[in-house]
A and B are shown apart, each in its own frame.
Chain A
């Protein structure tokens, strides 16, 4: 039966994440963006929210009941309201941990999952995006060829979050090039493996506080057991779709903050004797921003609900993610426009959201629900 009401558990997640975002993340957002560094204290406090360990069952040393896409998109929206870079940094282990939990072999689960259930934040990286203008997850150029007891990985990646800081990178490579999504597998590759080289930290337009790296693979050899799901491999489209849900939820949260900021500014800023929000030119922009933020959230919820119900959700997740990317850009642009010249100044947060927003069209992987 159709309902839009959050469960008690979801309300609690929402409240906890929301106050963490307001009390700790947002106040540090600007400094983190300027310096490129996130204060360790924020991450260790954020880790205490237990979002990763809370999804991992006890048998793998976690304290949760398994993956729950809806719970996670609700959490991600709140965290991205606080700051996108910090949210992505804090949840960098999700792609590896949740992929393993969802599709790993028993051995992979036992070996890897307990690492992300400790009291200390543990980063993990994901290498999916590649440095080509026409990059598309259905046509990945990095290849993994089987050679006896090993896979040999060759290719180049970029936008791998926290690659240098992590012990493991989940690397997506084509085992059957030309087969689209079905031809892609994931490999758990320890950082430091021969043939894998992590380059200098990337300089991006937005999410500047999130450390991302390019990685090149030259005859990088990993054992067969490194393949996610072992002999059977894994369902790449499903993992990709889970990460698209996460990114779309982040876009909703960040855009909601931009909307709220624009709303408050339009109420307070006076021009020609009255608040600029009293003019339809501004008010209508804000109304459309509000409608689109809500619309995107509902698209994300519906896709996440399908995911949790075990229904097909790849199409819904893709539509939601693309919609979210467009929405975030529209909202980001208008939040700058509404502040006029002030929006262009780095004293104000809107230009940061505007830069971050453009990333959603490019980001794939990086975070997962």
Chain B
């Protein structure tokens, strides 16, 4: 049955997270925008204490849920809504502040990769730390100076030498890389090729622990927005890691097949809608702000009148509102599919493409419509415009999402539609 009502459990979480975002995150948003590279440690500790494994469902589960299901007695089959809960939670927290929310401790994308393709032993070894006393971060290193969306072009190498893999190469744009490797006892999942000739099939994810010799953070980026979140470059020089830190099989079985790569890439089918939810949170912050300001000034938005009678302002606001809602519904559909075990790669890309484009437009329009108030750093609106731009870029640019969507709609392979 088609239903848009959130379950009582998700509603309660949503309300709680909203209060937290409003009272604990929003008030410090500007400070950490203007003091780039500083971190709200008190908040991190609080987040870690109260939310356990770092917002659990939000950035990949910590594995707790699965464990509980196995150990517990057989219970009634409840439909899963972990990913929906994640999307709803993320929207609220990002409504508070995108930079701070992104910098929260937890398994992150790296943890999600371990969760998606790690063995039970690996999950235990790498993920149990997130339920410890101290905040910990997991990070993911894919991008290289010459390989962004084009992940098949990864040049970082992993060579097996006895009981160890030896990594060499350079990674850039690693979100929370410093938090994971220098500020906590975390890890980074590094994508490297075991056989360049094998192309995609040769690219494997490896877990590299904090403090591993041969791994060094070489740069911390200064950014347009989401400044509270650290983005780093990491270089690997004969960096040796245990043999069993590879996620999935090391075999390059069949060079025409790319199962390993595909499986790991499936991580993104889960995280893409969550990135869309991040965008929606920021977009909603901007829309709420502009609507509240207009209300204070006594400007009414006449919903229901015909477009040919609307003022430009009304038309823009209504379009922003509809766009934001459309993005949210596409996102909910993508996570609902995931929760129900349905293949959602197409819908995940559609949601990410729509949300990224809609929200960059919404925040840009909002700044325009608020005139000098919009442009002033006295308000957070200009910050939201800067923050939101990242949503059209990271975890696959808007154009890459369109490419993936188009391939699926047209039924074309990546060779047929480049």
Contacts and interface: CB of A to CB of B under 8 A. Distances in A.
A315 interface: yes
Interface in B272-323: 302-309, 318-319, 321-322
B329 A319 contact: no
Contact of A277 (B321, B337, B353, B410): B410
Contacts of B403: 280, 283-284, 287
Contacts, number: 159
Interface string A283-316: 1101110110011101101100110010000110
Interface in B380-418: 399, 402-403, 405-407, 409-412, 416-418
Interface string B339-360: 0100000010010011000000
Contacts of B308: 133-136, 361
A298 B355 CA distance: 14
Given A263-B409, A278-B416, A319-B321, A361 B307 contact: yes
Contacts of A267: 410-412
Interface string B1-39: 111111100000000000000000000000000000000
A254 B185 CA distance: 56
A315 B2 contact: no
Contacts of B318: 318-319, 322
The bracket for how many chain A residues form the interface is 35 or more
A237 interface: yes
Interface in A321-350: 322-323, 325-326
B126 interface: no
A181 B304 CA distance: 9
Interface string A153-189: 0000000000000000000000000000100000000
Given A4-B336, A138-B304, A295 B410 contact: no
B196 interface: no
Interface in B156-173: none
A318 B81 contact: no
B304 A237 contact: yes
B345 to A, nearest CB: 13
Nearest to B335: A2
B325 interface: yes
A253 interface: no
Contacts of A290: 350, 405, 409
Chain B interface, DSSP helix/strand/loop, else mixed = helix
Given A301-B2, A302-B4, A323-B322, A1 B81 contact: yes
A2 B332 contact: yes
A291 B304 contact: no
B304 A318 contact: yes
A35 interface: no
B333 interface: yes
Given A298-B326, A299-B326, A3 B1 contact: yes
Given A314-B304, A319-B325, A1 B79 contact: yes
A291 B330 contact: yes
B406 A286 contact: yes
Contacts of A280: 399, 402-403, 406, 417-418
A5 B322 CA distance: 22
Contact of A305 (B4, B327, B332): B4
A192 to B, nearest CB: 31
A205 interface: no
Contacts of A241: 304
B329 A298 contact: yes
A109 to B, nearest CB: 27
A111 interface: no
- Kindly list the 4 A-B residue pairs having the minimum CB-CB distance in the complex, ordered from nearest: A298-B329, A283-B406, A295-B326, A287-B405
Interface of A: 1-7, 10, 70, 133-139, 181, 237, 240-241, 263, 266-267, 274-275, 277-278, 280, 283-284, 286-288, 290-291, 294-296, 298-299, 301-302, 305-306, 309, 314-315, 318-320, 322-323, 325-326, 361, 364
